[in-house]
Structure 1
Amino acid sequence: MALFVLRLYIVLPIFSRGKLPTSARRKGKSARLPTDKKLCIILGSGGHTAEMARLLQGVDFDRYSQRLYIVGESDLLSLNQIGTLEAKRDHMVEEYMVSRIPRSREVGQSWSSSVFSSLSCLFSVCQTLFHHKPDIILCNGPGNCVIVCAVALIPKFIGLKHIPIIYVESFARVQSLSLSGKLLYFMADRFVVQWPGLLRKYPTAEFIPHLV
């Protein structure tokens, strides 16, 4: 048990993320994505998808020529948005994949029944990540992203591969984090907030205003 806890301490990014100088976090210097990697993008419905679409405007698709989009099975809006995002890009190499996974919890679904839907989501996410083997994950808060990021920590935990996770909290979150944000604060290698008040409450975050 002690070895398990020690391994968690080593693996969970929050403990090493706190060593980043405050000035660097405020300026967002370390939030750059590595190049020539397979980028996994998690899309949620409604506002999450709209913010991610604006966030992706700053990503050079020629440098991230392989892209994996993860979207909920019932989320037709995000599915259509992927085609729109890709069509607007004039990239030399057009290579992107879409993985549709069950939602961990639908809007209005009871918490008791969400246990089974979360297990279904977990199984699908494991298949997706172990098949596509992304190099980096970019997400901004949809419910499925918590399960995706948790599964992404498994290869790091067993010493196979480190898949960096970049989480960008919603612009609408001014005073408090979303539920996804509160969970991913411990798992994300780069945790970005867009309001200075959140940086005071969560000191290992990176403050980059007006991203979306």
Structure 2
Amino acid sequence: MASFISLCELLLKLIIPTATIAILILLIILFSLAFSQNATVPKFRRRGTPVHLLIVLGSGGHTTEMLYMLKKSLNTSVHTYRTYVVTSGDPFSATKAAEFEDNLVQPPQRNTRKKVAEPKSFDVITIPRARRVHQSYWTAPFTTLQALWACLLVLCGRYPKQKKLPWKFTSPHPDIIITNGPAVSVCMVLAAKILRFGIFISRWATGQGSKPEISRLRTIFVESWARITSLSTSGVLLLPLADKFLVQWPDLAGRRAWWGMKKTEYGGWMVL
């Protein structure tokens, strides 16, 4: 009996500190996410400064929706360099991205003042897929970590065969990241959040304060037009992570991960 009581006391001595540390870590993560989402973006960029836009193409209908949105809203005089990220086994998205860029550099129609993009002002990068169709859930964590690592390299400009940015860009990090799913979008937004947290901690630890890097790596998630009354799985996961969460149906507006977090914003039909 005495040995049993001693064992219970030992377990309590191990469990209580472990549980306390786990709770503190969870509170720090929740506070960091709320602070990051609601923080004011520093206004470091001067007017006319080029913007590096990173677009995640999620294959199939996600790619089609994203290219429709870009066709309506992309301003090549502002977003002067575009990086398209596609996953392995998705030649459709890579081809469509190249075709989209080819159309941007076509001569404008007569009597229009539309400014066209400069040739070779984009890059298409293929990274590993986070989870293949019908892949076992036991192996999915390993491929997801592989995809996350690839996303970190892309955001740092160090992925194999990734083009070097033009001289006018002072940082390898993209200014804006836009995605609409699926799994690779979660990896990319999470990678951006990790990098921003690391930059913030390093600046704070060295006493350098706010720098232009803090205003970069801003993420936008656009929920699929097909989601009318409920969020997608990617949307649920990205609700506490994305800096801006746009929905295309009024019923999805005003949702948030928990109290104190940013709400989803109704942007209307962005694909039609």
Normalising by structure 1, report the TM-score.
0.84
d(CA) in 1 for partners of 2:269, 2:97: 23
Does 1:77 pair with 2:77?
A: no
Q: Gaps spanning 5+ residues in structure 2: where?
A: 1-20, 41-47, 106-115, 158-171, 204-212, 257-261
Equivalent residues of 2:55, 2:85 under 8 A apart: yes
Over 3 Å counting, the alpha-carbon distance change for 1:180 and 1:10 in structure 2 is same
- From 241, 247, 254, give the equivalent of 1:193: 247
Does 1:42 pair with 2:56?
A: yes
Over 3 Å counting, the alpha-carbon distance change for 1:97 and 1:205 in structure 2 is same
Equivalent residues of 2:254, 2:263 under 8 A apart: no
d(CA) in 1 for partners of 2:264, 2:228: 14
The CA deviation at 1:15 is: 5.2
d(CA) in 2 for partners of 1:13, 1:194: 26
Over 3 Å counting, the alpha-carbon distance change for 1:4 and 1:207 in structure 2 is same
The CA deviation at 1:119 is: 1.9
Which residue number corresponds to residue 101 of structure 1? Answer: 127
- From 205, 223, 243, give the equivalent of 1:169: 223
- Identity value in percent: 34
The CA deviation at 1:92 is: 4.0
User: Secondary structure of the residue that 1:147 maps to in structure 2?
Assistant: helix
Which residue number corresponds to residue 112 of structure 1? Answer: 138
- From 179, 191, 196, give the equivalent of 1:151: 191
Which residue number corresponds to residue 179 of structure 1? Answer: 233
Q: Gaps spanning 5+ residues in structure 1: where?
A: 20-33
The CA deviation at 1:117 is: 1.2
d(CA) in 2 for partners of 1:13, 1:172: 31
d(CA) in 2 for partners of 1:13, 1:189: 11
d(CA) in 1 for partners of 2:248, 2:52: 26
d(CA) in 2 for partners of 1:13, 1:42: 25
User: Secondary structure of the residue that 2:94 maps to in structure 1?
Assistant: helix
Which residue number corresponds to residue 31 of structure 2? Answer: 9
Normalising by structure 2, report the TM-score.
0.66
Higher mean alpha-carbon deviation, 59-68 vs 44-53, is at 59-68
| Structure 1 residue identity aligned to 2:55 | I
